[in-house]
Amino acid sequence: MVSGIIIWNGRRRSSARGYPSDPGLQCGAVAPSCQAKSEREMRYVEHAKSFLLASLVLLAGVNSVAGETAMMSSVQTAGNPQNEGIAVGDAELAVVLGAKPSPAEKRVAVLLTERIKNRTGMALAGPGGKTELRLVIGTVASNEKIKAFSAGRKDIASLGADGYCIASDAGKGELYVVGQSDSGVVAGVGRLMREMRYTPGKLELPPLQITEAPQMPNRGMYLWARKHFFGKPDQVDRYIEELALWGCNALAFWFEMGMFKSFDDPEARHWLAMYRRFYQTARRMGMKTGLIMVVNDAYKSSPEKLHISPIIGCPKHYLCPSKPGSVRQIIAWQEQVLKALPRIDIYNLFPADPGGCACSDCTPWPTRGYWRIAKPLAERIHQISPKTEIWVDTWHLNHKTFGGKDWKNLVASLAKDRPAWFAGFEVGLAPHHRFAAMSAEERKYYNEAKAPLMVFPDISMWRNHRGMLVNREYWKSLQAELNDYSPELMKGGWPYSERWNTDIASVVFLSWFWNSKKTVETVLDEYASFYFGPEAKTGRELLNLLDDACKDPERREKIRETLAKLESSVPAWVKKDWRWDEIVKSCRRLK
Ligand SMILES: [Zn+2]
């Protein structure tokens, strides 16, 4: 165990091993907020690069009190906080929250403490303990120390919504995570966790000076929380928190009425209770709540006389909005669900797959059947909850079954009229989907409508995406399609997440919400660094071998060898993460 705080001088250089890809630096170099960096920040990047190399070499040899003392003296004389990284040992780092921390601040401090404990075996100093280094977390409103530190700092004053700043004051022995909001604090601490380097009895903090704000306001995840998750809700809670640490700020569920006999079905009540629980977890992390509702969804016991005329992908018991009494019934049902849940920030009106009706009165679906229910439903939701953003999803509407080109009339009409409840359109992203793929011409139409946009990516986005597989080439095509939309219109989205199938894809999407130009290579480096630790380079090699597009003729053999190498070299904490098991399973499927 190390005692005493160790400060390194960043100018020292060496060819160190371990943590080969520095995600923070790469990310910082391309993040939008970093694109027009001040000279000082650019210098930081250079300093930090050399620091990382130096610090790792020094770490390898640090074990003497004399060495530590010498290093400690440098903190008093160096006078250049951008140059210095810090390592702390057991009980040498304290987390300082404000006098009245928000639930998100309290929770993220606990998560940080747990992460450090799990990876280094170290405890943080308890409240009131005197330490050489303090990590000060919060917002200007929640923490007096943050307020004092932020005074006069233009970069902090100009942080965009949900942005964060990580900065140090070596003279005071303080490192700050300044958030612009709860979500910003959580994302900032998440970033800090990914910048930290963990070894037994030792925690290294690079000399950070990062300012980042997300490009898009709705950085959501549509969590496929189904019944088989309900037996392990603690894991779902933890996963929601992990998504928040990656910058996710919204959580959506689909309440599928068709799974239940009625609203009073005990099973429906059980689902609502679980959703309430998960929303509470999300809210505690500073996240927004989202609900996806198919407009003509109905319970299994729905009156037969109101049923739809069959249409692809839609169960028979859904209601035809053109039949007398249907619209009133649908609104009443959706109102019940809305009122049974905590405040919903974002409500999605979903049109099809499932949904729709093939009767002549509902055809074409976009401007007739869909609109017949979407308009009064949106008005009622807006009346009940005026602050709820209501988004009109157009998934599947560009297919001939759902009206061919009629979706354009819907888009043009809403974009022109802009009812008070209307937040924007949610567009599909599914290049390989036979029915829902979007063309360049269609994307142009949305851009020209000039209404805000969110995106709903297809669940099969990674095609053969079992386990932890990735497909970098496919992501590049998705990214190009996403970046076809006007950046000033694009407000985020809800990728489909079911944890083990989609963790890497989820992280890639979250990164896109923060910075639409960030490369998949950078994101994977950051991912590998965080979850493989000092074996990040080998971990990244393994991810590349697992990539769906990998055509290496010796792929199987290499997967076997690389996995074996990792199995014998990764720290124990790597194997305790559920991702390790998933990666091992993916390897076994292929080798
Ligand atoms: Zn109908």
How many A from CA of 358 to the centre of ligand 1? 6
How many A from CA of 414 to the centre of ligand 1? 22
347 shares its domain with 406: yes
Counting residues of the chain whose pLDDT is more than 90, the rounded percentage is 70
Query: What's the CA angle centered on 424, arms 215 and 309, to 5 degrees?
Result: 135
10 Å Cβ neighbour count for 194?
Answer: 17
Average pLDDT, the chain: 85
- Residue 172: predicted pLDDT: 87
Cis preceding linkage at 495, omega within 30: no
How many A from CA of 449 to the centre of ligand 1? 28
Say how far apart CA 217 and CA 243 lie, in whole Å. 15
How many A from CA of 321 to the centre of ligand 1? 6
How many A from CA of 365 to the centre of ligand 1? 9
- The answer to the question of residue 479 being in a domain is no
- Please indicate whether residue 33 or residue 543 has the higher confidence score (pLDDT): 543
- The answer to the question of residue 276 being in a domain is yes
- Residue 79: predicted pLDDT: 34
Question: Which residue, chain included where needed, has tokens 């809403």?
Answer: 414
201 shares its domain with 224: no
Give me the CATH number covering residue 320.
3.20.20.80
How many A from CA of 93 to the centre of ligand 1? 64
305 shares its domain with 435: yes
How many A from CA of 411 to the centre of ligand 1? 21
How many A from CA of 410 to the centre of ligand 1? 17
10 Å Cβ neighbour count for 555?
Answer: 16
193 shares its domain with 237: no
Amino acid at 487: P
How many A from CA of 310 to the centre of ligand 1? 9
- Residue 414: predicted pLDDT: 98
- The answer to the question of residue 68 being in a domain is yes
How many A from CA of 307 to the centre of ligand 1? 8
- The answer to the question of residue 476 being in a domain is no
168 shares its domain with 260: no
- Residue 3: predicted pLDDT: 36
Q: Please check the confidence at residue 393 and state whether its pLDDT lies above 90.
A: yes
How many A from CA of 371 to the centre of ligand 1? 12
How many A from CA of 46 to the centre of ligand 1? 64
* Phi and psi torsions of 373, nearest 5°: -95, -35
205 shares its domain with 351: no
Mean pLDDT of 61-80: 27
How many A from CA of 512 to the centre of ligand 1? 39
Whole-Å CA distances, 263 to 130, 337, 345: 56, 8, 22
Q: Please check the confidence at residue 5 and state whether its pLDDT lies above 50.
A: no
249 shares its domain with 346: yes
How many A from CA of 318 to the centre of ligand 1? 10
Say how far apart CA 503 and CA 488 lie, in whole Å. 28
Last residue within a domain, chosen from 458, 479, 514: 458
Kindly report, residue by residue over 248-307, the tens digit of the pLDDT. Answer: 999 999 999 999 999 999 999 999 999 999 999 999 999 999 999 999 999 999 999 999
- The answer to the question of residue 515 being in a domain is no
How many A from CA of 373 to the centre of ligand 1? 11
- Residue 266: predicted pLDDT: 97
How many A from CA of 262 to the centre of ligand 1? 22
- Residue 500: predicted pLDDT: 62
How many A from CA of 356 to the centre of ligand 1? 8
> What is the tally of structural domains in the chain?
3
- Please indicate whether residue 224 or residue 455 has the higher confidence score (pLDDT): 455
Q: Please check the confidence at residue 155 and state whether its pLDDT lies above 70.
A: yes
- The answer to the question of residue 432 being in a domain is yes
Kindly report, residue by residue over 174-188, the tens digit of the pLDDT. Answer: 999 999 999 999 999
- Residue 460: predicted pLDDT: 59
255 shares its domain with 158: no
402 shares its domain with 535: no
Mean pLDDT of 87-116: 96
How many A from CA of 359 to the centre of ligand 1? 4
Last residue within a domain, chosen from 423, 458, 493: 458
Confidence of residue 21 (pLDDT cuts 50, 70, 90): very low
- Residue 465: predicted pLDDT: 53
- Residue 591: predicted pLDDT: 58
How many A from CA of 402 to the centre of ligand 1? 12
328 shares its domain with 356: yes
Kindly report, residue by residue over 327-360, the tens digit of the pLDDT. Answer: 999 999 999 999 999 999 999 999 998 999 999 9
* Phi and psi torsions of 134, nearest 5°: -125, 140
Alpha helices for 385-519 (secondary structure H): 406-417, 440-449, 472-482, 503-514
- Please indicate whether residue 32 or residue 500 has the higher confidence score (pLDDT): 500
Say how far apart CA 300 and CA 298 lie, in whole Å. 7
- Residue 464: predicted pLDDT: 53
Query: What's the CA angle centered on 346, arms 340 and 348, to 5 degrees?
Result: 90
How many A from CA of 300 to the centre of ligand 1? 18
258 shares its domain with 207: no
- The answer to the question of residue 502 being in a domain is no
Mean pLDDT of 396-403: 92
How many A from CA of 324 to the centre of ligand 1? 10
Q: Please check the confidence at residue 120 and state whether its pLDDT lies above 90.
A: yes
Range of the domain at 534: 528-590
Closest CA to 458 of 441, 474, 440, 473: 474
- Residue 83: predicted pLDDT: 53
Mean pLDDT of 64-82: 29
Last residue within a domain, chosen from 212, 238, 266: 212
- Residue 4: predicted pLDDT: 37
Kindly report, residue by residue over 422-445, the tens digit of the pLDDT. Answer: 999 999 998 878 778 899 999 999
Quote the distance between the C-alpha of residue 441 and its chain's center: 29
Say how far apart CA 189 and CA 498 lie, in whole Å. 24
How many A from CA of 353 to the centre of ligand 1? 15
Confidence of residue 22 (pLDDT cuts 50, 70, 90): very low
Mean pLDDT of 109-113: 97
Give me the CATH number covering residue 59.
3.30.379.10
- Residue 240: predicted pLDDT: 95
- The answer to the question of residue 347 being in a domain is yes
How many A from CA of 377 to the centre of ligand 1? 16
Confidence of residue 390 (pLDDT cuts 50, 70, 90): very high
How many A from CA of 453 to the centre of ligand 1? 28
292 shares its domain with 188: no
Q: Where are the beta strands (DSSP E) in 213-296?
A: 218-223, 250-254, 288-294
Say how far apart CA 388 and CA 381 lie, in whole Å. 8
How many A from CA of 296 to the centre of ligand 1? 10
- Residue 466: predicted pLDDT: 52
How many A from CA of 311 to the centre of ligand 1? 10
How many A from CA of 339 to the centre of ligand 1? 27
- Please indicate whether residue 465 or residue 28 has the higher confidence score (pLDDT): 465
Question: Which residue, chain included where needed, has tokens 């160790």?
Answer: 6
How many A from CA of 260 to the centre of ligand 1? 22
How many A from CA of 297 to the centre of ligand 1? 13
How many A from CA of 369 to the centre of ligand 1? 6
How many A from CA of 363 to the centre of ligand 1? 7
Say how far apart CA 356 and CA 400 lie, in whole Å. 12
How many A from CA of 309 to the centre of ligand 1? 6
